[in-house]
Amino acid sequence: MNVIALSTLDLSMAAVLVIILALLSIVLRLKLASRIIIAAIRTVVQLMLIGLVLKALFATESLLWVSLLAVIMLLVAGREVMARQQRRFGGLWGYGLGTLSMFISSFTLTIYALIVVVGTDPWYTPQYAIPLLGMMLGNTMNGVALALDRLSNGAWQQRTIIEGRLMLGQDWHTAISDITRDSVRTGLIPIINAMAAAGIVSLPGMMTGQILSGTEPVEAVKYQILIMFLITAGTGFAAMLATWIGARHLFDERQRLRLERLTSNTA
């Protein structure tokens, strides 16, 4: 089966729909028109650039270039995690917390999948490594951002309760445990919902892409199941790690709550 090529005109017809949406947001005073247009432009530019990069990368299969692209993807994902929080940790913590959690979780599970599950040769084959890592980072990024946002806002809103528990003799972990549990649950809700609806309400993106490219539906389903399981585990591990480290950083060495370590996000 040959893939039907899309022309510039075809893409322009789809872009018209986004423009209409932006115009409607102006009429309804949603204040989203500029964000919609900017996001659409970023989508086109970023995807076209990554398409050219991947074309060159597939031709070389160099571990150095694969690693370089993976690091860039991670750094951008870390920036997005920080930008999506209403209250974030100040200084390097604001950037490093999400980035470190995603690095440990997403990179570890991606390498595990490439070596143990899929068994690519070499294990860093760009055709498999980059798309798999991209899906891992994209979903893990959302989970970590939601978890940290819930943690920081919860600590800010319930600071009196937390300090009261500390005064009663509870340690930092116990005093903030309700908020950390809610934070992890918040981070996991999107991917759990996606798993529950996969195949009935929606056909996930990777599966759809493989089917459109001519892959047998059953084989596409197998890959999608693999991806869903990896994404769920990666998101859960990263959300737990980020929440635990973040919660610990909210307290000093004498286990006093230090909300001044949070800053309001005006980005």
DSSP line for 8-54: HHHHHHHHHHHHHHHHHHHHTT-S-HHHHHHHHHHHHHHHHHHHHHH
Dist CA 145 CA 12 (whole Å): 32
Per-residue pLDDT at 1 exceeds 70: no
Q: Can you tell me the mean pLDDT for 137-163? A: 92
User: Which region among 42-51, 131-140, 199-208, 218-227 has the lowest average model confidence (pLDDT)?
Assistant: 199-208
Give 198's pLDDT tier (boundaries 50, 70, 90): confident
Query: First-to-last CA distance in the chain?
Result: 46
- Per-residue pLDDT, 267: 47
Length of the chain in residues, anyone? 267
For the chain, give the mean pLDDT: 88
pLDDT value of residue 266: 53
Beta strands in the chain (DSSP E): 87-89, 262-264
Confidence of residue 2 (pLDDT cuts 50, 70, 90): low
Q: Which of 23-37, 76-90, 201-215 has the highest mean pLDDT?
A: 23-37
pLDDT digits (tens, 9 = 90+) for 40-71: 999 999 999 988 988 888 888 889 999 999 99
Helices (H) and strands (E) in the chain, counts: 11, 2
